[in-house]
Amino acid sequence: MKRGDIVFVTLGVAGLAACALLPFFGSGYAMSMAINLLIFTVLATAWALFSGPTGYVSLATVAFFGLGVYVAAVFGEAWPWPAVLATAALAALAVALLVGLATLRLRGVYFVIFTFGLAELIRQVVTWYEANHSGSVGRYLFLDIEQKHIVWQLTALATLVYLAGWLVKRSRVGLALRMIGDDEMVARHCGVHTTFAKLLVFGISAMFMALAGAIVAPRWTYIDPTIAFNPVVSFQVLIMALLGGAARLHGPVLGVIPLVLLFEFLSANFPNYFSILLGCTFLVIVYLAPRGIVGLMDRLQGGKP
């Protein structure tokens, strides 16, 4: 392990420990900011698990995140909370495997368009079902889950997603994903079962995204498809992962921290121009740091660009 990686691991452990202890001494606003940081840390890291090594740029993040939100909204008041979380993860896994069999044969812009369309399709289906069968577009969710409980659950989930990323990276599946990213055709000729490797990690990534949605759902109380399947979330996660550097496990969090703070400032002070400013931020990041902060640090240290 490189010296820089050891430093980031140490800082990551310290950060997770601080989040776990925050409810004991932090204010409500501090816990709210911690929740935002942890949500995007989980989503960006889960996105990078699959898209980082393979180069498949996915905009389906909010599809799985919103699915988790709605599983919590539908079953949260009737089932034990662990059962709700398990159902959210399994539902996301089923959708990821079903959709992945078709979408993971696509590459480049076709894959990007399909994943964006998938999120919109799920949102429209949920809206239609709610309007025609539930008699209301949205749902209310009242659970005895406080902010501190959400912080602890998200801290545990962030720990799990890092552990999963560490295990995948050092496994044969991780090697297969990197080979796919370099040249998928060559990987197939080398005997790599590319479909299995992509489906497995795509499914794992989707499960973490859905769990993040289910955990944060009680915070909103009122949930509708516009809130749960907001397409801006997918673009925010993409920008954060690219800024930090999706090639390294710790890369996305380097983009999460500054951009969560930036988006908080922009949404509070420029709500009518948020989408425009978000697009400008994306263009600046792609132009100035195409390999992210991690790539810039490697270049400064004389490593690989």
Whether 39 maps to a domain, the answer reads: yes
Instruction: Spell out a b/e string for 106-134, using b for 16 or more CB atoms within 10 Å of the CB, else e.
Output: eeeeebbebbbebbeebbeebbeebeeee
Whether 232 maps to a domain, the answer reads: no
Whether 18 maps to a domain, the answer reads: yes
Amino acid at 173: V
Domains held by the chain: number: 1
pTM confidence score: 0.91
Range(s) of the domain holding residue 53: 3-227
Whether 37 maps to a domain, the answer reads: yes
Q: What is the pLDDT of residue 44?
A: 95
Q: What is the pLDDT of residue 131?
A: 84
Whether 238 maps to a domain, the answer reads: no
Whether 206 maps to a domain, the answer reads: yes
Q: How far is CA 269 from CA 84, 120, 263, 273, in A?
A: 36, 28, 10, 9
Whether 175 maps to a domain, the answer reads: yes
Q: What is the pLDDT of residue 4?
A: 57
Instruction: Show pLDDT as tens, one digit a residue, over the chain (305 residues).
Output: 566 566 667 777 788 888 888 888 878 888 999 999 999 999 999 999 999 999 898 999 999 999 999 999 999 988 999 999 999 999 999 999 998 887 777 777 888 888 888 888 999 998 888 888 777 778 888 888 889 999 999 999 999 999 999 999 889 999 999 999 888 888 888 888 888 999 999 999 999 999 999 999 999 889 999 889 999 899 999 989 988 888 888 888 888 988 898 888 888 888 888 878 888 887 887 777 767 777 777 666 664 44
Whether 185 maps to a domain, the answer reads: yes
